Structure 1
Amino acid sequence: MTKSRALGALCGLLAAACSGGGPTDEPAATSAPSSNAAIEQAEIRFSEIYFHASDPSPITLQDTGPVAEFVELVNTGQATAQLQGWCITGIKYCFEAAVELAAGAFLVVSADEYDGSLSNKQDRLRLIDPTTEVREEVTYSDRWPWPELADGDGYSLQRASFAGDPADVASWIAALPTPSQPNATVGVSPAREVVITEVNYHAVDDNPATTFIELFNATAEPIDLNGWCIEGLEFCWSVATVVTPGGLLTLQGSYDPAQLSAASDRLRLVDSVGTIEDVVAYEDSGLWPALADGYGHSLQRLDPSMSGRPPGNWISADANPGSFVPSSIGAPLPTFDDVTFVLSPDAGVDFELTATVTDAREVSVAYRIGFEDEHTVAADLVDGHVSAVLPGQAAGALIRFRLVGTGDGGIGTWPRQGDGAQYEGTVVRSEPTEASALPRFQLFMPDDVYAAAASDDSLHGDEGYPAVMAFEGEVFDNVLIRIKGNQARTNPKKKWKVRLPAGHEWFAAGRLVSPVDQFDLLSAATDKSYSREILTADMQELSGGYVQQVFPMRVERNGSFFGLYMYGESIDGDWRDRYGFSKDSLVYKGEGFAQLEKQDLVLSQDTLRKKYERHSLSYLDDNDQLLRDLITTLNTLEGDALAAFAYQHIDIPQVVEALATMRVVQHSEWQHKNYFLIYDPADEKWRLIPIDFDLNFGHWFHSPCAARCDDTQVLYWPNYPDHNRLARVLLRDDVLREMVDRRTRTLADEFFAAGLIEARLDELAALMGPDAALDVRVWGQYGARQTMAEAQAILLKNYVVVQRVRYLERGELLPTAQEGVPAIEVGTYDVDDAGQVVHAALTNTNPVAVDVSGRTFDEISAVMPAGVVIPAGGTILVVFERQPVGAQVTPQLVVTAARSG
């Protein structure tokens, strides 16, 4: 048999003859190049798919040289076939010219001939004839059960059976590419003489140095690993390292732990002559055990004789290197995928669910209604497809279920072993018992568990009591909740920390900026207007700086109204990722009297961390030296030396923005607590980020009522929060203070604009008013009785109007409003080889400081971050990546901008 290359160009028109134009992913609607009978009789098949070239050498074709990928067709019929008008979707290729494919001949379509590309992960290819009939379809994947070595290991997918369904993985094998030869008859798989048996890729303390990989010698002979490598870990043994027969080797501390991903990774063990011994491709959720992702478990292999690719050959358990005991289960545990069901089914309507499963011969569904005991029903299982019907339930009922599969390897479930949740589920559609315009957040907790959680003020961090949460029908089983705060723990209506089960994230039906795995339920227990936290988030959004998302929700417990709460975003690792912080950032939360004072230096590490709660890299035994050095510097340097430190090691625009924003909303509790202090080694700068906004807009903590006070007033604290030594640097330096004042004026002009806050409060009252009244009925109030509208009116009269007059009409404390768009000179700048600006200078020739926050400078394609103010006559340097500033002869503000366009 011979193979010929495709002679035709790409076919680009959908509704015209295949006579030119660009590529298309659809067949051309043309007159048939051969008779319909000939087309119908043609037996063209997919033969080979080379979708992921090995690194660094792609396959070489005789006619074209190296190519990164190709798709091969074969004519399995008895007669020559005409391919003009045939198309392959997925790669956008159609045969434009007349191309004959002889009986038994192969034809290769290489990457240089089509506009699309084959995904290295998963793709669907369809072969469509000129009559638009789909003749073959295959959706390949780099995941189990597809042949593991076709994924970048130098092998291709090859059709083992042309009689079988191309969509069936059993029709394919992995083998060395054969673009000029018949397909291989036997597939290739790893040798598995030495295999990976345990992977601890994310330790419970987040310490990358404690990650490890365990290897097992599955043979009866000693094996020297000298010259062997683990690709993906980028590690090779360079000295004699013998693993005894049936022996174990734990690899720890010898490789760069940054190479071992805490999300997903592909590890390939290769011997000294290049033979692939083992392949493991893990993930941190879904089909793989999520408890291995920083919850104390590791991934542990069951049967070393089976492939390391199927997730059913792995479980999670407490990390335990050097203790592997091989099993011979002979088949993976049943593994479920594509679980589908209707969210929020109507009352009384049967609940139908479907799924796919591998390695199972029977499946059942165990389900619970509310907190009843489990019921079990048998599911239908046909060719790996699962279906089941549960009886309809009453409106508002909580339905939770798990799938249980039994196979030759044992019992597998969905959610799988090692998942943070035990059940999937939903809530039967219902209407709230009282009219509400708010999204419903539903909690389900037995009364005794809730009572224990509400009275337990000892928990912190990731601890909590189990509950079930639901939002718009989406259920999360086994969430953990606990009360949070300091003084807030004593309020009748608590604040709550909610942590999702391992492996799960919540998007709030698209309401969130990005998915979260933890968040706060903010009670507004000290805010009768229920508006302060929302207004502060509005202010942050308007300013363009760091935002902690907030929105109101009607919270119910076990079907009854529980309270009006605010969703509050946590400043956690996901939040830091969104704002570009490096993984090695050092994070502290200011607790009581954490003012960065010199007296803190004598504290032990344990005592210091009670004032400055460490939220990252807590495994380091560093005595918090960077924090201590900061405190020393802030309390030792003065004048120009302190200013030089600020320009080099404080993110001045960020702190300017924080100070200005909190001035406008009058945050009265963040100089000694209620802030995060973050040091990012990427640019060697500290940042000061305020949190906890329920006492903003005229409220403050004072005697004798503490946080539960009716007083609302503007506080004349012009230098607040200068008892915080980092904030003091900006507030007591003339140039930096000028930046803060200018930015404050800009924000005051925007936020206190006539009618803006009034309209927002009216909107919130209409949205939340009925639920606010219910909340007062359930939880009561401190002090004088007020409706939400009355409290909003007080906020307006005693705070907003007063500040508006003070800042905008009288011009107290702040400069006059910035008019128009003041001219800023774009000075010299450097570009890289791609023509992008690397750094540039901006000069303010005006006699006053100019706020350029959010401003785009087209000449350098730069958008300024919030808080950038150029002093009168000053020049700033603009860069585009976080990087250390370094020592400066003359201190100059260096700003990290975003690229426009």
Structure 2
Amino acid sequence: VVNLSAPLSSAVVINEVFYHAPNDVAELQYVEIFNSSDQPVDLGGWKFTKGIHFEFPPGSKIEAKGFWVICRNLDRFKEAYGFSANGSFERSLGKTGEEIELVNASREKVDSLHYDDEPPWPVGPDGHSSSLERISPSAESSLPQNWAASPPSEDGIKPAGTPGKQNASFSPSLPPVISEVKFAPANPAPGEPVSVEADVRDADGVREVNLLYRIASSGSEKEESSVPMSKVSDHRFKGIIPGQTSSCIIRFRIQARDEKEAQRFYPGPNEPRPAFSSFVHEELLPGKIPFGLVINIGEAELKAAEERSKKPNRGRFNEEDRMLWMGRMMLESGMDLPSAWCEVTVREDVGFDVVQKLRPLFAAKLSERENLIAKTLETASVSE
């Protein structure tokens, strides 16, 4: 067992932070450290001195290439991730930003991180179920570009992250840094190409930069296409998306790879907005009143919308529609589960355990209510 004490150059690094769980459940927070060396490291007497409060007990050891996870609440962590964390810390992490510092037994700084919930830091970990993952153990903790959002959970409500195992975004070296993305025009006319430029830098040398794009229109979304981006200045690359037909959405992102095969996609694939977008429109006139366009890219959704548009009196109620709407409102107000949920979970001081037990019960009752309302309205006569 060795004791690594060199400030900043230690092989033990802050590797993952889950600072903002869905529904603001602070008890699910955790911090993970990683030992990137080939030898175990004695952690006895080490401490987190900023952000959270935790001292490693005597005899604590992190194995070679191993992980050590500490959390805010041991029971909540095990319930969410299926295994026990190595310890629990005091004081919750800040949801909008925090400085975390790890020191060794001699009180020398081993690693520190000052994260934020706004760009250039990843946004996915800010309440969207993702954790904040370190990309490369060898790159600086202070670089926002050395951190990425972990894959989110399927429903966005359950906590995600990769505690106790290799990060999903892991790379031995820092991938190319992509920034200063600009494109024009923002809303091209039909057939008009879109020019995209980006700043791409890498200490190991940029090998290739590609512009990835896909087209979404009513009833369909095409496969992603790729065009190479050419170097136009020292660190500036440019690519062209061909002109498209009217009333479609162009979604695009940038891929860069360096000489060590490390690659990055920008925006990140696990971000709430994983691509830039541009809308192709024949006549987009400015106005004082904002308006939006809804494009059903799913074939089933498109066909359903088309069927609705064929109905008589589209856009206004006939007498039958009015009676059905009034019936639904009366039934919903008589079985007002959303208000009951708000009363119990917001206005009453109930613990996390109670909320977790109530959640599936309310969800089941809400589903029963919707089925009952639909069945009642389907069988009821308008005159009733």
TM-score, structure 1 length as denominator?
0.29
Residue of structure 2 equivalent to 1:402: 253
Residue of structure 1 equivalent to 2:24: 206
Quote the RMSD (CA, aligned, Å).
4.2
- Residue 449 of structure 1 and its aligned partner are, at CA, apart by 4.5
Q: Output one character per residue of 1:78-135: Cα deviation in whole Å (capped at 9) or x when no partner.
A: xxxxxxxxxxxxxxxxxxxxxxxxxxxxxxxxxxxxxxxxxxxxxxxxxxxxxxxxxx
Residue of structure 2 equivalent to 1:284: 117
Q: Output one character per residue of 1:840-895: Cα deviation in whole Å (capped at 9) or x when no partner.
A: xxxxxxxxxxxxxxxxxxxxxxxxxxxxxxxxxxxxxxxxxxxxxxxxxxxxxxxx
Q: Output one character per residue of 1:744-781: Cα deviation in whole Å (capped at 9) or x when no partner.
A: xxxxxxxxxxxxxxxxxxxxxxxxxxxxxxxxxxxxxx
Is residue 235 of structure 2 the alignment partner of residue 384 of structure 1? yes
Distance 2:119 2:46 in 1: 35
Distance 1:238 1:607 in 2: 44
3-state SS, counterpart of residue 592 of structure 1? helix
Read off the aligned partner of 1:201 and give its amino acid letter: Y
- Residue 294 of structure 1 and its aligned partner are, at CA, apart by 2.5
What pairs up with 1:875-886 in 2 under 5 angstroms? none
Q: 2:128 touches 2:272 (CA, 8 Å); kept in 1?
A: no
Residue of structure 2 equivalent to 1:301: 134
- Residue 437 of structure 1 and its aligned partner are, at CA, apart by 6.9
- Residue 211 of structure 1 and its aligned partner are, at CA, apart by 0.4
Residue of structure 1 equivalent to 2:208: 362
Q: 2:254 touches 2:267 (CA, 8 Å); kept in 1?
A: yes
- Residue 215 of structure 1 and its aligned partner are, at CA, apart by 1.4
Residue of structure 2 equivalent to 1:229: 48
What pairs up with 1:70-109 in 2 under 5 angstroms? none
Is residue 269 of structure 2 the alignment partner of residue 417 of structure 1? yes
**CA pair 235-388 structure 1, distance change in 2 beyond 3 A:** same
**CA pair 453-704 structure 1, distance change in 2 beyond 3 A:** closer
Residue of structure 2 equivalent to 1:836: none
- Residue 414 of structure 1 and its aligned partner are, at CA, apart by 1.5
- Residue 269 of structure 1 and its aligned partner are, at CA, apart by 1.9
3-state SS, counterpart of residue 124 of structure 2? helix
Q: 1:197 touches 1:324 (CA, 8 Å); kept in 2?
A: no
Q: 2:212 touches 2:254 (CA, 8 Å); kept in 1?
A: yes
Residue of structure 1 equivalent to 2:359: none
- Residue 355 of structure 1 and its aligned partner are, at CA, apart by 1.6
Distance 2:105 2:12 in 1: 12
Residue of structure 2 equivalent to 1:575: none
- Residue 622 of structure 1 and its aligned partner are, at CA, apart by 4.2
Q: Output one character per residue of 1:306-330: Cα deviation in whole Å (capped at 9) or x when no partner.
A: 3223345444133232224799844
Read off the aligned partner of 1:344 and give its amino acid letter: N
Is residue 194 of structure 2 the alignment partner of residue 351 of structure 1? yes
Read off the aligned partner of 1:592 and give its amino acid letter: S
- Residue 249 of structure 1 and its aligned partner are, at CA, apart by 1.9
- Residue 402 of structure 1 and its aligned partner are, at CA, apart by 1.1
3-state SS, counterpart of residue 444 of structure 1? coil
Read off the aligned partner of 1:355 and give its amino acid letter: A
- Residue 378 of structure 1 and its aligned partner are, at CA, apart by 0.7
Q: 1:367 touches 1:374 (CA, 8 Å); kept in 2?
A: yes
If you compute each CA radius of gyration, which structure gives the higher value, 1 or 2?
Answer: 1
Is residue 167 of structure 2 the alignment partner of residue 426 of structure 1? no
- Residue 198 of structure 1 and its aligned partner are, at CA, apart by 1.7
**CA pair 420-199 structure 1, distance change in 2 beyond 3 A:** same
Is residue 361 of structure 2 the alignment partner of residue 620 of structure 1? no
3-state SS, counterpart of residue 209 of structure 1? helix
**CA pair 324-374 structure 1, distance change in 2 beyond 3 A:** closer
3-state SS, counterpart of residue 272 of structure 1? coil
- Residue 212 of structure 1 and its aligned partner are, at CA, apart by 0.5
RCO comparison, higher one (Cα < 8 Å, 6+): 2
Distance 1:245 1:272 in 2: 18
Residue of structure 2 equivalent to 1:659: none
Q: Output one character per residue of 1:381-429: Cα deviation in whole Å (capped at 9) or x when no partner.
A: 3433222222334454422211111122522111113212332121135
**CA pair 280-493 structure 1, distance change in 2 beyond 3 A:** farther
**CA pair 380-266 structure 1, distance change in 2 beyond 3 A:** farther
TM-score, structure 2 length as denominator?
0.63
Is residue 101 of structure 2 the alignment partner of residue 255 of structure 1? no
Distance 2:34 2:210 in 1: 35
Distance 2:187 2:338 in 1: 49
Distance 1:357 1:295 in 2: 28
**CA pair 240-373 structure 1, distance change in 2 beyond 3 A:** same
Q: 2:176 touches 2:264 (CA, 8 Å); kept in 1?
A: yes
> What fraction of aligned residue pairs are identical, expressed as a percent?
23
Residue of structure 2 equivalent to 1:445: 296
Q: Output one character per residue of 1:637-685: Cα deviation in whole Å (capped at 9) or x when no partner.
A: xxxxxxxxxxxxxxxxxxxxxxxxxxxxxxxxxxxxxxxxxxxxxxxxx
Where do 5+ consecutive residues of structure 2 fail to align? Answer: 1-5, 73-87, 152-159, 307-312, 323-331, 357-380
Residue of structure 2 equivalent to 1:132: none
Distance 1:325 1:414 in 2: 18
Distance 1:492 1:241 in 2: 73
Read off the aligned partner of 2:201 and give its amino acid letter: T
Is residue 182 of structure 2 the alignment partner of residue 340 of structure 1? yes
Distance 1:447 1:351 in 2: 25
What pairs up with 1:209-608 in 2 under 5 angstroms? 209-219=27-37, 220-231=39-50, 233-237=51-55, 239-240=57-58, 242-246=60-64, 247-253=66-72, 254-258=88-92, 260-284=93-117, 286-315=119-148, 316-317=150-151, 318-324=160-166, 329-342=171-184, 343-359=186-202, 360-370=206-216, 371-381=221-231, 382-407=233-258, 408=260, 410-431=262-283, 438-446=289-297, 448-451=299-302, 592-593=333-334
